[in-house]
């Protein structure tokens, strides 16, 4: 579920940070810059793991900040394809089921990856697994075990997004896609997958 990524970056330490220990000041700045952010093709950054190397601080003309080149490792959330994870059901709709881990919400189980003979109950807005004669409801907030099938990265930086034809509005939010930068497509098709209660746990 979690792994390490090795990175190199120039970190800016403001003068107020000079009173801290150097390692702590660097750690704080790296966490400020990376924690809870998605890096393209890397994953969701959680926190700094360790510093491998840090240069001396450089101070530029007209700027009181110290710039340090740092070699460090980050803890990254990026489950491998095929990994089994448990989460909670956040919402259900016709398309499938959304799952959350608390710190990561962009997990989707499309309807064709649900258990065989699953039906959407429109009255209660939940999916139901018809197992033999039994109706197994997938209620919200229930703990669910699922397998990662694929991952998608989507570059949300404004510069590379293609301009929509004929749309020229100064309202930037209208242009911005609602797509998540990093999302997982998962399945619960198979023995042992789905709500924990189905499998007697």
Partner 1 sequence: MEILQTNSAMLSNYEVMSLLADQKAQRIANEVAGTREVAENLRTVEFEVQKYLAASPCSTQSGDQIRELKKAFKDYELMKVELLQILNLRPKSAVELLLVIEEFEERFALDDCEKMLSIIAKALPRDDDEEMVEGGEEEVAENA
Site for partner 1 in 42-61 (CB under 8 A): 42-43, 46-49
For partner 1, the closer CB: 126 or 147: 147
* Phi–psi pair at 5, nearest 5 degrees: -125, 135
Interatomic CA distance for residues 122 and 126, integer angstroms: 7
Q: Name the one residue in this structure whose structure tokens are 């929509």.
A: 164
Binding mask 139-168 for partner 1 (x = CB under 8 A): ------x-x---------------------
Q: For partner 1, which stretch binds (CB under 8 A), given 4-12, 133-141, 148-156, 169-177?
A: 4-12
Binding mask 60-99 for partner 1 (x = CB under 8 A): -----------x-x-xxxx-x--xx-x-------------
How many CA atoms are closer than 13 Å to the CA of 71, on its beta-carbon side? 5
Q: For partner 1, which stretch binds (CB under 8 A), given 36-44, 122-130, 160-168, 175-183?
A: 36-44
Interatomic CA distance for residues 150 and 80, integer angstroms: 9
Judged by CB under 8 A, the residue of 62, 102, 162, 166 near partner 1 is 102
CA distances from 7 to 48, 69, 73, 117, 198 (A): 10, 11, 6, 46, 42
CB of 115 to partner 1, least distance (A): 14
DSSP conformation class of 82: T
Site for partner 1 in 171-190 (CB under 8 A): 190
């Amino acid at each position: 579920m979690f792994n390490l990524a090795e990175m190199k970056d120039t970190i800016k330490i403001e003068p107020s940070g000079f009173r801290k220990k150097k390692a702590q000041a660097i750690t704080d700045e790296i966490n400020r810059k990376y924690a809870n952010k998605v890096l393209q093709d890397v994953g969701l950054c959680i926190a700094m793991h360790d510093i491998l190397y840090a240069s001396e601080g450089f101070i530029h003309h007209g700027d009181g900040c110290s710039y340090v080149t740092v070699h460090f490792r980050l803890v990254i959330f990026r489950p491998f394809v095929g990994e089994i994870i448990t989460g909670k059901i956040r919402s259900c709709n016709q398309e499938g089921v959304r799952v959350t881990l608390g710190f990561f919400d962009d997990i989707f189980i499309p309807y064709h990856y649900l258990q065989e003979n699953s039906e959407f109950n429109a009255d209660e807005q939940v999916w139901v697994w018809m197992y033999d004669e039994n109706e197994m409801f997938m209620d919200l907030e229930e703990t669910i075990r699922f397998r990662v099938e694929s991952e998608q990265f989507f570059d949300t930086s404004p510069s590379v997004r293609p301009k929509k034809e004929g749309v020229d509005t100064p309202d930037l939010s209208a242009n911005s896609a609602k797509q998540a930068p990093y999302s997982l497509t998962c399945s619960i098709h198979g023995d042992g997958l789905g709500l924990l209660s189905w499998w007697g746990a």
